[in-house]
């Protein structure tokens, strides 16, 4: 690892023409700030499919990654710095920007709206203004960093205005955009007071990618309705003669990396240790999610507790491990959710647990990838029940780790992954009885049936990993 960001020197960037031939623009940099043994702050690469998929092409194309380091800072943006040979370009966000752009418009307005109003979105003009300003800062920085005719790939809902802002500054660039979360039905998107600006922002891209083809269709329909451009199939003809295309590119994971973890002796030993620590149960059910109201943690635990109360399972031989990774903790709806889940887990364990045998082993914590892999290996049944989810990579990670084709996946039909994992036990997370039946069916299914379903999902995953995803998006662009 190299040094952290050098001291800011705003004059420098203007003097040096941009040289990156591939620029990734995302709200977050793929690094976490950590404290070194000597007490100084430094950076460590955060694990993630996106960065591992893009790393080879970034290296071969003088790539740069622009994003927020994830900490509050009122300092001007620092100079580009390198971590593990990747060039990272920091955008600092101050307290007001974090409040208005990140917690506000991105996660208090767009996130709930794009996830089918699972929570109520708030519309505030000050949040919108912060969103516009921060998107403009990302666009200006990208315009500085990109080489002539470079390819720029902008990611996710936090940065939907960047493509058009960037095109205005740098018409020579190839610009792609990918939305990692669902794109909402047209009626819901229509609620946004700034719907037209967001559509026009995205239309700055030559290619707008979605997880599912439904998202691409909704987008093109909205462009026709609300902006009035001529559309033909999934192509939008813009007044200046440019064509912007929309298409689906379902994202995936680094299958090889998870497979290697699942094969490694230390992960296998850790999985055995986890089962012993859980009291050697006959059955382990597992949920792993960011603690987010879209993930359906609450109805999942309720369904499981009813199965226990009705005597289908016994806490002495079955346990549900629920990992909830802390997330967006300053946003009110996330705080309320945490209280709700804490209370529910407390009630279920109080009513149904026994000494030494809780009904639910609840962990409010985040774990490194090798611990996640050990949990996947230790779990007989993976329960993934979001109310709405762009893709859900946890489902894919579980499948990638089940080298022996054993294990069962219970999967919400409202996760993007459901379109690919037809062989999962699919459920409607709003239907508690249906979820109970699916969990029971998965638990009771004969080993041959589990193996048949898992093998089919694994075959699919092998042909569709994250490098295939990145390559097909970039090739289409
Ligand atoms: C989702 C979004 C990402 C986001 C991540 C973590 O996966 O699609 O854009 O980075 O959640 O959320 P956070 O707010 O911590 O960045």
Q: What is the pLDDT along the chain (477 residues), one digit of tens a residue?
A: 333 444 333 334 343 458 999 999 999 999 887 888 888 888 888 766 688 778 888 888 889 999 999 999 999 999 999 998 899 999 999 999 999 999 999 999 999 999 999 999 999 999 999 999 999 999 999 999 999 999 999 999 999 999 999 999 999 999 999 999 999 999 999 999 999 999 999 999 999 999 999 999 999 999 999 999 999 999 999 999 999 999 999 999 999 999 999 999 999 999 999 999 999 999 999 999 999 999 999 999 999 999 999 999 999 999 999 999 999 999 999 999 999 999 999 999 999 999 999 999 999 999 999 999 999 999 999 999 999 999 999 999 999 999 999 999 999 999 999 999 999 999 999 999 999 999 999 999 999 999 999 999 999 999 999 999 999 999 999
Beta carbons within 10 angstroms of residue 276's beta carbon: 9
- Give CA–CA dist 251/419, Å, rounded: 12
Q: What is residue 173's predicted lDDT score, i.e. its pLDDT?
A: 98
| Structure tokens, 418 | 């459901």
Residue 50 CA to ligand 1 centre (angstroms): 12
Same fold across 20-249 and 255-463: yes
Q: What is residue 392's predicted lDDT score, i.e. its pLDDT?
A: 96
Q: What is residue 84's predicted lDDT score, i.e. its pLDDT?
A: 85
- Give CA–CA dist 177/159, Å, rounded: 9
Kindly state the helix (H) or strand (E) to which residue 86 belongs, with its residue range.
Answer: strand 86-90
- Give CA–CA dist 433/427, Å, rounded: 10
Residue 197 CA to ligand 1 centre (angstroms): 22
Out of 28, 102, 328, mutate this one to test ligand 1's pocket (max ligand atoms within 8 Å of CB): namely 28
Residues with CB under 6 A from ligand 1: 27-28, 156, 180-181, 327-328
Beta carbons within 10 angstroms of residue 133's beta carbon: 14
Q: What is residue 13's predicted lDDT score, i.e. its pLDDT?
A: 38
The domain spans of the chain are 20-249, 255-463
- Give CA–CA dist 340/67, Å, rounded: 33
Please give the full DSSP string across 305-353, using - where no structure is assigned. Answer: HHHHHTTSS-TTTEEEEEEEE---TTSHHHHHHHHHHHHHHHHHHHHH-
Out of 157, 160, 180, mutate this one to test ligand 1's pocket (max ligand atoms within 8 Å of CB): namely 180
Please give the full DSSP string across 41-55, using - where no structure is assigned. Answer: EEEEEPP-HHHHHHH
**Which CATH superfamily groups domain 255-463?**
Glycogen Phosphorylase B; (3.40.50.2000)
Closest CA to 242 of 210, 198, 203: 203
Burial of 192 (0-12, 13-18, 19+ CB in 10 A): buried
CB 436 within 8 A of CB 218: no
**Which CATH superfamily groups domain 20-249?**
Glycogen Phosphorylase B; (3.40.50.2000)
Q: What is residue 2's predicted lDDT score, i.e. its pLDDT?
A: 39
Query: Atom 14 of ligand 1 has which residue's CA nearest to it?
Result: 328
Query: Atom 16 of ligand 1 has which residue's CA nearest to it?
Result: 28
- Give CA–CA dist 110/448, Å, rounded: 43
Out of 25, 27, 101, mutate this one to test ligand 1's pocket (max ligand atoms within 8 Å of CB): namely 27
Residue 180 CA to ligand 1 centre (angstroms): 9
Q: What's the DSSP call for residue 82?
A: E
Residue 156 CA to ligand 1 centre (angstroms): 9
Helix boundaries (H) for 157-296: 162-169, 186-189, 195-202, 213-222, 255-263, 265-277
Q: What's the DSSP call for residue 72?
A: B
């Amino acid at each position: 690892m190299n040094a952290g960001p050098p001291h800011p020197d705003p004059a420098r960037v203007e003097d040096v023409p941009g040289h990156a031939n591939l620029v990734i623009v995302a709200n977050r940099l793929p690094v976490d700030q950590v404290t070194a043994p000597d007490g100084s702050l430094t950076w460590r690469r955060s694990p993630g499919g996106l960065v591992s998929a893009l790393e080879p092409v970034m290296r071969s194309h003088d790539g740069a990654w622009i994003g927020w380091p994830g900490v509050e800072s009122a300092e001007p943006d620092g100079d580009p710095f390198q971590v593990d040979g990747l060039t990272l370009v920091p955008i600092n966000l101050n307290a007001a920007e974090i409040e208005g752009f990140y917690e506000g418009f991105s996660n208090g307005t767009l996130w709930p709206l794009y996830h089918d109003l699972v929570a109520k979105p708030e519309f505030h003009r000050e949040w919108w203004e912060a969103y516009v300003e921060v998107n403009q800062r990302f666009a200006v920085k990208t315009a500085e960093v990109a080489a002539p005719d470079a390819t720029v790939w902008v990611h996710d809902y936090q940065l939907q205005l960047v493509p058009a802002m960037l095109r205005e500054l740098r018409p020579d660039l190839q610009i792609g955009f990918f939305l990692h979360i669902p794109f909402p039905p047209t009626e819901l998107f229509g609620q946004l007071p700034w719907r037209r600006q967001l559509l026009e922002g995205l239309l700055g891209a030559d290619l707008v990618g979605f997880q599912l083809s439904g998202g691409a269709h909704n987008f093109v329909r909205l462009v026709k309705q609300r902006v009035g451009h001529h559309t033909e199939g999934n192509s939008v003809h813009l007044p200046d003669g440019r064509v912007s295309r929309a298409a689906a590119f379902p994202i995936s994971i680094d299958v090889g990396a998870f497979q290697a973890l699942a094969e490694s002796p230390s992960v296998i030993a850790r999985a055995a240790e986890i089962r012993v620590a859980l009291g050697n149960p006959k059955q382990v059910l597992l949920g792993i999610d960011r603690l987010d109201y879209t993930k359906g943690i609450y109805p999942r635990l309720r369904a499981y507790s009813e199965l226990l109360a009705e005597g289908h399972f016994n806490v002495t031989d079955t346990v549900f491990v629920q990992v909830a990774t802390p997330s967006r903790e300053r946003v009110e709806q996330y705080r309320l959710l945490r209280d709700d889940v804490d209370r529910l887990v407390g009630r279920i364990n109080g009513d149904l647990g026994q000494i030494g045998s809780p009904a639910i082993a609840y962990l409010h914590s985040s774990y490194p990838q090798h611990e996640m892999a050990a949990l996947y290996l230790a779990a007989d049944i993976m329960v993934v029940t979001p109310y709405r989810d762009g893709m859900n990579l946890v489902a894919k990670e579980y499948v990638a780790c089940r080298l022996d084709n054993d294990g069962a996946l219970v999967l919400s039909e409202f996760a993007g992954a459901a379109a690919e994992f037809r062989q999962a036990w699919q459920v409607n997370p709003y239907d508690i009885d249906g979820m109970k039946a699916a969990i029971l069916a998965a638990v009771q299914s004969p080993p041959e049936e589990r193996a048949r379903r898992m093998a089919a999902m694994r075959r699919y995953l092998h042909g569709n990993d994250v490098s295939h995803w990145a390559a097909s998006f970039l090739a289409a662009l």
